[in-house]
Amino acid sequence: MGDSYGGGYSRTSYNAGGGDDAGGFVYGGSQGGSQSAHYLTLPTSSRRATATTPCAPVTIKQVIEAEQAYPDAPFRIDGLEVTQVTFVGMVRAISPQTTNVTFRLDDGTGIIEVKQWLDADKQDDTSKQAFALDSYVRVWGRLKSFNNKRHVGAHVIKPVADYNEVQYHLLEATYCHLFFTKGAPAAATVAVYNWLSNSEGGNEGVHANIISQAMKISIGEVLKCGEELTSAGVTYTTVDDETFAILDY
């Protein structure tokens, strides 16, 4: 199992359950040996440059609960510094102000105010931008605090055309949260899972000996991976402690 974690952050290729042996984890992360303290930061020195800071996919609850050590300190989510975030939400209210348009967005986890500042030069196209109440939008923006009130300064707000994007976003936020709090699953564990899900074991499962032979890894390794998968709740043991099946509801 080569360490083929790629260095970069790529949006859509986690490949959950896919068959390739890299396991599809493409975030530059702890496995790459970087000590990055940034959400989704590429393991390079470009970290300081704001323009290249990636967006953390988050839920609105995470935005509300982002911590600040002291006023004006950087925000932290899951203990990692975060400036740019992206999230989805239903438009609950729109209030045009002289300098900005304030939206109240609700994603079912919390409600947050999002301000889109009006650009005097481009007044026309910003004022044309209209979102229907109760429609979903995606926001890319920056966490802000003003008079102890938290809001998000939007760079871009776009309507969500496909509802599956809402679901996708929430799963991506969950994935990132788990990745940064629990770390990526070991490549071998992912490989065993992928092998099992492509096998014909069904409800009866496959014995560790067979997995070991088929995958050409030691029986000890298989048992370790199996235990990890079982404690994560994605596989279970069947006839004995050494026979594993995919928990598929």
Partner 1 sequence: MESISTPRISSQLIDSYVGQNVMVVGKVQQLRGDTAVIDADGQITANLNRDAHLVNGNAAQIIGKVLPDLSIKVMSSVDLGNNVDFKVAQAVVDATHQCRDLFVFDADKGGMMMG
Segment interacting with partner 1, rule: CB under 8 A, options 162-170, 196-204, 223-231, 239-247: 162-170
Distance CA 46, CA 43 (A): 8
108 interacts with partner 1 by CB under 8 A: yes
88 interacts with partner 1 by CB under 8 A: no
Distance CA 42, CA 180 (A): 14
Segment interacting with partner 1, rule: CB under 8 A, options 121-129, 164-172, 221-229, 238-246: 164-172
Nearest to 173 by CA among 58, 50, 7: 58
110 interacts with partner 1 by CB under 8 A: yes
Please tell me the count of residues contacting partner 1 according to CB under 8 A.
26
Q: Which residue in 154, 177, 193, 221 binds partner 1 (CB under 8 A)?
A: 177
Q: Rounded to the nearest whole angstrom, what is the least distance from the CB of residue 178 to partner 1 in the complex?
A: 7
Residue 111 identity (one-letter amino acid): I
Q: Rounded to the nearest whole angstrom, what is the least distance from the CB of residue 162 to partner 1 in the complex?
A: 7
Q: In which order are the strands placed within the sheet that holds 80-82?
A: 67-68, 75-77, 80-82
Site string for partner 1, 46-85 (x = CB under 8 A): -------------x-xx-x---------------------
Residues in Cβ contact with 8 at an 8 Å cutoff, skipping those fewer than 6 apart:
26, 28, 42
Burial of 164 (0-12, 13-18, 19+ CB in 10 A): exposed
Q: Rounded to the nearest whole angstrom, what is the least distance from the CB of residue 61 to partner 1 in the complex?
A: 6
Residue 72 identity (one-letter amino acid): D
235 interacts with partner 1 by CB under 8 A: no
Structural contact between residues 112 and 60, judged by C-beta atoms closer than 8 angstroms: yes
The single residue listed with the structure tokens 């959950």 is: 16
What residue ranges bind partner 1 (CB under 8 A)?
A: 59, 61-62, 64, 106, 108-113, 134, 149-151, 162-164, 167-168, 170-171, 173-174, 177-178
